[in-house]
Structure 1
Amino acid sequence: MSGYGGTPPGWQDPYGGQGWSQTPYSGAQPPPGYPYAYGPPGVPVRPTSNASTTACLVCNIASVLLCCGVLAVPGAIVSAIAMGRVHNDPESARKLTIAGWILFGLSVVCGIVIAVIYFIFLLNADSGYESGTGI
Structure 2
Amino acid sequence: MIFKMKDDGFFTELPFGRLDVSGNEEVGFRPYQLMAASVAVCSGGVLRKILEKKRLEVRDIEIQTNVDRNENQVNKIETIHIHFVITGNNLNETQIEKAITLVGKNCSMVQSVKGSIDVRETFELKG
TM-score > 0.5, shorter chain as reference: no
What range is the shorter-chain TM-score in? Answer: under 0.3
Structure with the higher strand share, 1 or 2: 2
TM-score (norm: length of structure 2): 0.23
Structure with the higher helix share, 1 or 2: 1
TM-score (norm: length of structure 1): 0.22
Higher RCO (CA-CA < 8 Å; seq separation 6+): 2
Larger Rg: 1
